[in-house]
Structure 1
Amino acid sequence: MGDKIPTKNIASPEVEPNSAEMFTGDQAIKSRDKIQVRAITGQFTKFRKMGGWLLFVVFFGTSWLNWNGHQAVLWDIPNRQFNIFSITLWPQDLMLLSMLLVICAFGLFAITMFAGRIWCGYTCPQTVWTFIFMWIEKQVEGDRNARIKLDKQPFSPKKLALRLTKHALWLAFALATAITFIGYFTPIRQLVIDIFTFNAGNTAYFWLGFFTLMTYLNAGWLREQVCIYMCPYARFQAVMFDKDTLIVSYDEERGENRGPRKKSADPKELGLGDCVDCSLCVQVCPVGIDIRDGLQYECIACAKCIEACDSVMDKVGYDRGLISYTSEHQLKGNEWKLLRPRFIGYIVALIVMFSALMYNLFTLIPVDLEVDRGRGANLFRENFKGDIENSYNIRIMNKSQHAETYILSASGFEDLIIIGDTKIHLQSGEISQVPVSVVVPAQNLASRSEPIYFNVVADSDETITAESESRFMGPRHRR
């Protein structure tokens, strides 16, 4: 085995100044050649299909789910509320969304350290949608050889019909994707009716056209270009690699020298390795690289080349694994280590952050209480009985998903009296400003300023409660 996973610098050493090539750093970006991917089957293809179907079910299905009489997941931006099943988040709860993004980031770091860019190859929406578009293309225009032949044919009514059919299906799928995506931001059932009855409004039609076009271009036309040049993950993924990261790699020592041979021939007598140079690994690659040239950042770890190579090895009677998921340590003949300090650190961080998120979600209080002292020239008033009176503005917000009645109370002093409305009925998401006055006997004040506590309790559930502290002001000297 070689000392390291073989890599190849694919930048052109010489480029004509007037050529169609451009430079980004030390990498030459050549004009794109269309990649016609050959279909392949195998165990990894089954895993990719499972990941794709899971993503499809979650994406297309969740938006149509109802939960307690409302859409299960709805990011209602105009009303500044985000419904996630039985939980409603408000702008003041955005810290929880930030925690979720951090968890996703650390999850991606852990996955990358474990098996490289495997997320891209199995469950990334760009990859899944591209594979769907490629499947549509295969159903309409035929397999790889038929598509290559069709590309070379002169324009004809048959070719036009095939191309129109393909692009119509692409656009239809892109439209379904756009409707579903917008349906997470506006009620999808009404959205579908409004779209097809032309009552959706200019804003909805703009975003519908935008997301349809982007899906059509990214999955149908750009395809691997998004993964190679537009996705930042391709550029920084190597920072998270270590010598035990599993990546798709070609066993150069076993495979070289390459060359065709008869099945009955002894490759050693011919001075050949196990690679028969069939180029099938290149034909099935969705990003158009040759994995035999070494590790390249374009590789999305989809394992199509592994399945292609294993199928050839089976036919010629050689052992599988000429191309496989392996690590630098394994290439050196060492044992692969799953648990290493940085990987354990990622897992521990994920467990801690996920536990914190779950705790905050399940202890989220669906009512918000704020108290402001009443504005006026006097900090307090003395009534005709000699008692001290303070004014407050009580702000109550119903953060639950249903109407609720709240009971307002205050504590901190003996014989305290609240003057004002102490029973407040609020619809879901409604905010109410309630002015109240609090009267305390002067003899119960120990100092000029003392804490007072306001509390609201849901009439239907005493466990739903919120408290806020303020100050009660009195005269300088105790009476």
Structure 2
Amino acid sequence: MSQDKIDIKDVTPKPKRKNIHKNSGDRFNPSNRIYVRESKGTYQKLRRYGGWFLLVLFAGLPWIPFGDRQAILLDIGHQQFNFFGTTLYPQDLTLLALLFVVAAFALFFITTFLGRVWCGYLCPQTVWTFMYIWFEEKLEGSANKRRKQDAGKLTPNLALRKTLKHIAWWAIALITGLTFVGYFVPIRDLFINFFTLEAEFWPLFWVLFFALCTYGNAGWMRSIMCIHMCPYARFQSAMFDKDTFIVGYNTQRGEPRGPRPRKADPKSLGLGDCIDCDLCVQVCPTGIDIRDGLQYECINCGACIDACDTTMERMGYEKGLISYTTEHQLSGKKTNVLRPKLLGYGAVLVVMIALFFTQVASVDPAGLSVLRDRNQLFRTNNAGEIENTYTLKVINKTQQVQHYQLSVSGLADASWYGKQTVQVQPGEVLNLPMSLGIDPQKLPSAVTKIQFILSDNQDFTMMVESRFIKKL
């Protein structure tokens, strides 16, 4: 019998120290609250500026006028999606599918390259959460103060400040709900009707629904959304590799960690550069300790980097103990940025963007659809002609009044019964009943292919195929 021994590795979890970030040590328990400490630094400035830019963009776009309406109006009721001078209809929604594909591959590319920077800097959940935390800090105090207050009795002063906080939260939530719904209904009328209590049921319902979601997500759920509900946190590992830039802790430089006097030489004390101040934990919005290694809860917001750099600067140490780095770099290897997976995502992204803009450029300024009368496929009229009846739907996708001419090809000497020149208002769908009649002797077969032609006074021409039926 072989005497070779099987290597055994002890994988028993080490007991964790008490998490100062919450009321309890179990950070996976949704009932535990995270008291996020304010962090200042380069990355937090970048996050705040990016967040404010998106907030201004989100709040301002629906107020931009364009002609007699707002520039962006996704009018679901009339099935018209207006983007400045372009109007899209349901038949143009392949553009939306292409846009989603572009967004997906952009997310894959950015995640493979820079990890979860979308989550940390641009995700609405993060932007609104930090905005709510800002009001919380201004009205209730710092993280340590809030923790002590919540552990004690509710005083009248604290109750007043908490009430003001929730009023501010609800005000932001209502403005958010109104703005979001304002992309789908005229926003000026929506605001007037809402504050004069004249809003219709469905707009009012959706405003309150999205306000409640904003209040609940940014005010109460916060990291629970990122950790337990967001699918992105779950499938991001499929895009990560050892060359993906993440927020990482330099273990070789920082360990063993421990407190020490500011002027003491850490090497003489047998310590690394980490002074175990726990600021990186206190500023983390998802409540993790980055020193435990890569964790899917990390949203790459850089708060721990700024907090650690501040501590390193005060201690007189080199910054970058926690930094944006890669697993290869942390292990002393070279980071390979231009790797096949990243190049593949980039190539597909470029192709999808090109297809999207090609599709946008090819959107027709008008539309034509042809419906045959199915109750009576054909009939003989008073002139002895075989007559087929159609309904033509002419769509003006531009923002100007248009005059169109209608004609038919493939049916020589046919008589046109109905209007052949029409005026169509911007965004209008004109239903035009008409008939074609022809001497039965001039029909080559029982069923003849024909094309209806729509043209304007410029260079636009559209053809739609249909059938002319002589007999069954």
Greater shift after overlay, 122-131 or 292-301?
292-301
Unaligned stretches of 5+ residues in structure 2: 1-10, 17-23
Pairs within 5 Å for 1:461-472:
461-472=457-468
Partner of 1:357: 356
Unaligned stretches of 5+ residues in structure 1: 1-7, 14-20, 22-26
CA distance change for structure 1 residues 10 and 89 in 2, over 3 Å: closer, same or farther?
A: farther
Pairs within 5 Å for 1:247-262:
247-262=246-261
Instruction: Determine if contact 1:281/1:291 at 8 Å carries over to the other structure.
Output: yes
Distance 1:377 1:283 in 2: 76
Instruction: Determine if contact 2:262/2:315 at 8 Å carries over to the other structure.
Output: yes
CA distance change for structure 1 residues 80 and 391 in 2, over 3 Å: closer, same or farther?
A: closer
Matched, 1:367 2:366: yes
The DSSP-based 3-state class of the residue aligned with 2:309 is helix
Greater shift after overlay, 54-63 or 390-399?
390-399
Matched, 1:70 2:69: yes
> Which whole-Å deviations, capped at 9, do the CAs of 1:386-418 have from their partners, x for residues lacking one?
876544332323333444332111223554542
Pairs within 5 Å for 1:443-462:
447-458=445-456, 461-462=457-458
CA distance change for structure 1 residues 449 and 34 in 2, over 3 Å: closer, same or farther?
A: closer
1:375 positional shift: 4.5
The DSSP-based 3-state class of the residue aligned with 2:363 is coil
* Aligned residue among 391, 409, 412 for 1:411: 409
**Identity among equivalent pairs (%):** 48
The DSSP-based 3-state class of the residue aligned with 1:106 is helix
1:444 positional shift: 6.0
Write the letter of the residue equivalent to 1:125. Answer: P
Instruction: Determine if contact 1:367/1:465 at 8 Å carries over to the other structure.
Output: no
Partner of 1:426: 424
Using the size of structure 2 for normalisation, the TM-score is: 0.89
Partner of 2:19: none
CA distance change for structure 1 residues 261 and 82 in 2, over 3 Å: closer, same or farther?
A: same
The DSSP-based 3-state class of the residue aligned with 2:63 is coil
1:164 positional shift: 1.1
CA distance change for structure 1 residues 192 and 332 in 2, over 3 Å: closer, same or farther?
A: same
Matched, 1:228 2:227: yes
> Which whole-Å deviations, capped at 9, do the CAs of 1:49-86 have from their partners, x for residues lacking one?
12101211111000111112211111212112211222
Partner of 1:5: none
Partner of 2:60: 61
Pairs within 5 Å for 1:152-301:
152-301=151-300
CA distance change for structure 1 residues 388 and 63 in 2, over 3 Å: closer, same or farther?
A: same
Instruction: Determine if contact 2:87/2:398 at 8 Å carries over to the other structure.
Output: yes
> Which whole-Å deviations, capped at 9, do the CAs of 1:305-337 have from their partners, x for residues lacking one?
111111111121221111111112212322222
CA distance change for structure 1 residues 205 and 10 in 2, over 3 Å: closer, same or farther?
A: farther
Instruction: Determine if contact 1:451/1:472 at 8 Å carries over to the other structure.
Output: yes
Distance 1:257 1:59 in 2: 47
Distance 1:186 1:391 in 2: 37
Instruction: Determine if contact 2:30/2:224 at 8 Å carries over to the other structure.
Output: no
The DSSP-based 3-state class of the residue aligned with 1:209 is helix
Partner of 1:321: 320
Partner of 1:438: 436
Distance 2:297 2:392 in 1: 58
1:355 positional shift: 1.6
Using the size of structure 1 for normalisation, the TM-score is: 0.87
Greater shift after overlay, 89-98 or 52-61?
89-98
The DSSP-based 3-state class of the residue aligned with 2:269 is coil
CA distance change for structure 1 residues 201 and 327 in 2, over 3 Å: closer, same or farther?
A: same
Distance 2:371 2:161 in 1: 69
Instruction: Determine if contact 1:281/1:306 at 8 Å carries over to the other structure.
Output: yes
* Aligned residue among 387, 390, 393 for 1:392: 390
Distance 2:38 2:247 in 1: 19
Distance 2:374 2:405 in 1: 24
The DSSP-based 3-state class of the residue aligned with 2:40 is coil
